[in-house]
Amino acid sequence: MFGLSELAIILIVVIAIVLARKGPELARNAGKSARILKAEARAMKEAEEQRATATPPRVIPGETIPNRAEHPPTDGTRA
């Protein structure tokens, strides 16, 4: 039977074989994911800065509508 050290060596060899085949693909996908994450973080930061430097909305003074209870309609309709 196999001892613990033999099983560990077999496991390491199997992992090395799997990584030799799938390693470059995994590294490429991890790099793509990191670039996408970095680009999204940069876009969020730029949007935050743009929001912070944007001018506040202008308030245009105008007429106000009087309260209906104070001024009921005079044409006979109900409010």
| CA torsion angle 36 42 46 48 (round to 10) | 90
Phi, psi (5° rounding) for residue 64? -105, 150
What's the whole-model pTM score? 0.47
pLDDT at residue 41, rounded to an integer? 96
* Whole-number Cα distances in Å, 53 to 3, 39, 41, 56: 67, 21, 18, 9
Q: How confident is the model at residue 1 (pLDDT cuts 50, 70, 90)?
A: low
